[in-house]
Chain A
Amino acid sequence: MHFKRREFLQIGSLATASLMMPKFLKAFEKPAMVPAGNKVVVVLQFSGGNDGLNTVIPFGNDIYYRERQVIGIKKEDALSLTDAAGLHPSLEAFKGLYDEGNLGIMNAVGYPNPDRSHFRSMDIWQSASGSNEYVNTGWIGRYLDAQCKGCDKPTQALELDDTLSLALKGNNNKGLAFKDPRKLYNTSNEKFYKDINAAHPKTEETVDYLYKTMSETLSSADYIFKQSKMNPTTQSYPATELGKNLKTIASLIMSDINTKVYYVSLGSFDTHVNQAQQQKKLFDELNGAVKAFTTDLKSNNRFNDVLMMTFSEFGRRVSQNASNGTDHGTANNMFFISGGLKQKGLLNEMPDLLNLNDGDLKHTIDFKNVYATVLDNWLGVNDKNILGGSYEKMNFI
């Protein structure tokens, strides 16, 4: 036999909820104002291993066409950046950003002894570990640990998804994941949770930890929902998933929220078969969403303070396979989009197609140098403790 949820849990009205509101919730009623020029990072993850060579196309290189007889993108179809390289035809907004000086492209980024498993390589990128270490925290999570000692706002790093990525899990602090501020609010606005939370006395350490997580979730859900309604964007976004997510992010960037890092994913780029079609579909979604997002930020004078960076767990092999797709590879390119870039365009050499490692690109830049640069130059924190080592910074931001 079944019975209705209302028999257990009653959705509390806002009025009764506010009567029950414990102290930590009240603390949120006056959120700290974000200082002008508050820098924000939006990490855009290409899940599944995006094919970098068909993203930034080395059309000046004969080896590219020799190795990719079917799937190689013709020079005349690519959106020319230089006389040697162009962008995938779908990335017209990226070409526009390039022309304005608001796009940076870093080639051949990777790490030593690359792993070709999606899951493992993604863990390495998200945890910023070496390929023979197993680290259970992510680089943004450890940023929260460093930044957020004693603060009870887990809204400094937000992920637009139903579940939280390793990247946002620290030892003591974790980011918060949600798809839609309203849905998050509705889920956590159960009177039952609020009641047991308010009535919980400090008891045992582990129980308290769970209550603390619940309490932060409930209060953050209210906070995020209110912030998201403060200055809802009027810019029109494509009705795609990435479009909706970037719209939510833009609305929050335009509010008073204290968020420094947003995390969002697009995929799957695992194009073993008929790559052209699948990659185009994803790039169309990417292009439309990023176009609306950057337009929105510009018209609200926030473009100089926001850095969007993209990455994927690996690139793909230089040669295409027999199914007009590509198999798992190694080094890959990253995009940096912002009105505040110090260096623009191609930030380094295109990948060397002559000097391969068993058919795969060799990395020339370790991604941890990129993280160190973003943490130090953009977010203004000491990157050494977060990355567990000293990495030379670059100058693009």
Chain B
Amino acid sequence: MASSTRLKNQHLLWRAGFGPMAENVAELNEISTKDLWKKLIDSSTETPQKIDIAANPFEDKTMMNVDGTIMEYSKLDADKKRAVAKQGREDLKDMNITWLNLMINSKAQLREKMSFFWHGHFACRSNNAYFSQNLVNIVRSNALGNFGEMLKAVSKTPAMLQFLNNQQNRKGKPNENFGREVMELFTLGRGNYTEKDVKEAARSFTGWGFDKTGEFVFRKSVHDDGEKSFMGQKGNFDGDDILNILLKKPETATFITKKIYRYFVNENIDETKIKYLSSRFLKNDYDIAKLLEDIYTSEWFYEPQNIGNKIKSPIELLAGIRRYLPLTLDNDDAQLLFEKVLGQILFYPPNVAGWAGGKSWIDSSTLMVRLQIPQVLSSKDLLDIRPKTDDDVNMGMSEEKRIKLGKKNVYSASGASATIDWDIISKIFQNTARPKLSQAIIDSLLQTKGRIDSSLLSNYLNNESRESFIKSVVINVMSTPEYQLC
């Protein structure tokens, strides 16, 4: 059965962005997928505005010695250390909310979605908010550009150098962490290099580090400038040479293409398509936008087996709800709580391999919370959930505090109360006849083939007024397992 134009367009918006906005709903019956793709790419061409929240703590005057030189973090007194750490956590929280809001409201949907993908690919945790901010800005400005350039820039960020211990990688005392992960997770993938390659790469990256102002430095004195033998080549390689060799390998293009295919098209790989896409990706010198164009302008991307089969990640779910429901949250903390409970906190991937995705998002607890979110947001309902503490993170939330959402009088600071502008939604469907209304709303919300039984749904709908009816369809349909997919 051929998919409707609306379904295909929504498919494109869910995969290439964070889902349709309520305002988009009307045009999606008409516009062609090619024109919609063009709109998406056109709205993402501009260089993005940087996220600019965390200040460089090393430029803080109170952290300088009397002679104006910068004090090392380890030499700060305990109070100052605590203050720096606290500020860092606050900044990371603000950065999280700011970026999530961009995912929801920015016109550059394609760019933010790809940035979000690369955020999980170049996964990195740093309690230094300034480092994390630099990394996310590099990812956002390169998200649709050249993969090789992004790889090189990311490899020189203090965040990554710190996270993968390259600061400790010295001549004669190599630390292999970065050398290994750059091949295993960022370029080739497992099975395409030897332990000897790891050792030789680590030697080549010796001396790559950052100074106490947070700038990349090449510390020549600790660099091993001897000859290395790497992937069948010999030379006095440094880090850039290694990255260049890795980028010449077709395995790198294949690994990245497969990951993109799994993430944006289908978890089940189609080898023929991977071969076609990755050879073009390599030939196009790792031009990310061209690879995406190959995917999103193809006919196979819109085939039924690729639609509605992907479990939304927590961020995709939250952003998707908020793009469809024009709402004002009383308090941003609620979003952080949802991220924590559902298992995806921006800037805190579980490890350097990023979020596993797919079915790993779903267990009894996360599924029941997912099903309750629309009600919590729309009815000031209570969600009595306490996330696990993460002693590396804590995100400024005290671990003793029981967080109850929505119950304003008890824990107002964490309340999830939101005000939804239902007028906008009502207007979108104003020309839809009442008998067709429920189906039209369902079609705008769900991507799955199977749909919740309409006679069953009608038991739960509110017929008092047209607006109440619309509300009850939207909230109930969002509270189903089907809505977890896109």
A206-B309 in contact (CB<8A): yes
B386 neighbours in A (Cβ, 8 Å): 161-162, 179
Write the chain A residue with the least CB distance to B268: A205
Please give the distance in Å from A59's CB to the nearest CB on chain B.
28
B87 within 8 A of A: no
B390-A118 in contact (CB<8A): yes
A251 within 8 A of B: no
A323 within 8 A of B: yes
B482 within 8 A of A: yes
B484 neighbours in A (Cβ, 8 Å): 210
B368 neighbours in A (Cβ, 8 Å): 187-188, 214, 217
A118-B391 in contact (CB<8A): yes
Write the chain B residue with the least CB distance to A141: B363
B309-A8 in contact (CB<8A): no
A-B contact count (CB 8 A): 166
B364-A220 in contact (CB<8A): yes
B468 within 8 A of A: yes
Interchain CA distance A131-B199 in the complex, whole Å: 17
B392 neighbours in A (Cβ, 8 Å): 117-119
Within 8 A of B (CB), among A155-171: 161-165, 169
B391-A196 in contact (CB<8A): no
Interchain CA distance A216-B363 in the complex, whole Å: 10
B375 within 8 A of A: yes
Bits for B338-381, please: 1 = Cβ < 8 Å to A, else 0: 00010100000011110010011011111110011001001111
Interchain CA distance A160-B218 in the complex, whole Å: 49
B372 neighbours in A (Cβ, 8 Å): 187
Given A136-B360, A216-B364, also A206-B389 (CB < 8 A):
no
Given A2-B379, A117-B392, A204-B450, also A134-B360 (CB < 8 A):
no
Binds A, one of B16-24, B137-145, B256-264, B470-478: B470-478
A4 within 8 A of B: yes
B471 neighbours in A (Cβ, 8 Å): 3, 7
B381 neighbours in A (Cβ, 8 Å): 5
Please give the distance in Å from A207's CB to the nearest CB on chain B.
5
Interchain CA distance A258-B356 in the complex, whole Å: 30
A7-B462 in contact (CB<8A): yes
B453-A210 in contact (CB<8A): no
B363-A164 in contact (CB<8A): yes
Interchain CA distance A154-B365 in the complex, whole Å: 12
Within 8 A of A (CB), among B427-486: 448-450, 452-453, 456, 459-460, 462, 468, 471-472, 475-476, 479-482, 484-485
Interchain CA distance A5-B471 in the complex, whole Å: 12
A164-B364 in contact (CB<8A): yes
B387-A119 in contact (CB<8A): no
Within 8 A of B (CB), among A206-250: 206-207, 209-211, 213-214, 216-217, 220
A70 within 8 A of B: no
Within 8 A of A (CB), among B390-418: 390-393, 399, 417
Please give the distance in Å from B86's CB to the nearest CB on chain A.
13
Bits for B53-86, please: 1 = Cβ < 8 Å to A, else 0: 0000000000000000000000000100000000
B422 within 8 A of A: yes
Please give the distance in Å from A190's CB to the nearest CB on chain B.
9
Interchain CA distance A169-B142 in the complex, whole Å: 35
B449-A154 in contact (CB<8A): no
Within 8 A of B (CB), among A98-128: 117-120, 123
B363-A134 in contact (CB<8A): no
B449-A199 in contact (CB<8A): no
Interchain CA distance A270-B392 in the complex, whole Å: 10
Please give the distance in Å from B407's CB to the nearest CB on chain A.
13
Within 8 A of A (CB), among B327-341: 341
A162-B385 in contact (CB<8A): yes
A58 within 8 A of B: no
Please give the distance in Å from B313's CB to the nearest CB on chain A.
14
Please give the distance in Å from B167's CB to the nearest CB on chain A.
14
Within 8 A of B (CB), among A240-274: 265, 267-268, 270, 273
A49, A136, A323 — most chain B CB neighbours (10 Å): A136
B356-A136 in contact (CB<8A): yes
Write the chain B residue with the least CB distance to A133: B353
A10, A120, A188, A210 — most chain B CB neighbours (10 Å): A210
B35 neighbours in A (Cβ, 8 Å): none
Given A163-B388, A209-B359, A211-B481, also A195-B365 (CB < 8 A):
no
A8, A119, A162, A205 — most chain B CB neighbours (10 Å): A8
B309 neighbours in A (Cβ, 8 Å): 204-206
Interchain CA distance A104-B389 in the complex, whole Å: 29
Write the chain B residue with the least CB distance to A48: B391
Please give the distance in Å from B126's CB to the nearest CB on chain A.
11
Write the chain B residue with the least CB distance to A221: B364
Write the chain B residue with the least CB distance to A172: B359
B384 within 8 A of A: yes
Please give the distance in Å from B375's CB to the nearest CB on chain A.
6
B156 within 8 A of A: no
Interchain CA distance A169-B361 in the complex, whole Å: 10
A203-B390 in contact (CB<8A): no
Please give the distance in Å from A58's CB to the nearest CB on chain B.
25
Write the chain B residue with the least CB distance to A121: B392
A1 within 8 A of B: yes
A342 within 8 A of B: no
Pairs A–B under 8 Å by Cβ, sample size 28:
A1-B419, A1-B420, A2-B419, A7-B471, A8-B379, A8-B476, A8-B479, A49-B391, A118-B391, A120-B351, A123-B350, A162-B386, A162-B387, A163-B343, A163-B366, A176-B363, A192-B476, A204-B448, A206-B310, A206-B311, A207-B448, A207-B485, A209-B362, A214-B367, A214-B371, A220-B364, A268-B389, A268-B391
Closest 3 CB pairs of A and B: A203-B450, A210-B481, A134-B353
Contacts A7-B471, A47-B391, A134-B352 known; 10 new A-B pairs at CB < 8 A:
A8-B472, A118-B391, A163-B365, A163-B366, A169-B363, A174-B364, A188-B368, A207-B482, A214-B367, A267-B399
Which residues of B approach A to under 8 Å, CB–CB?
A: 78, 125, 180, 308-311, 341, 343, 350-353, 356, 359-360, 362-368, 371-372, 375, 378-381, 384-393, 399, 417, 419-420, 422, 448-450, 452-453, 456, 459-460, 462, 468, 471-472, 475-476, 479-482, 484-485
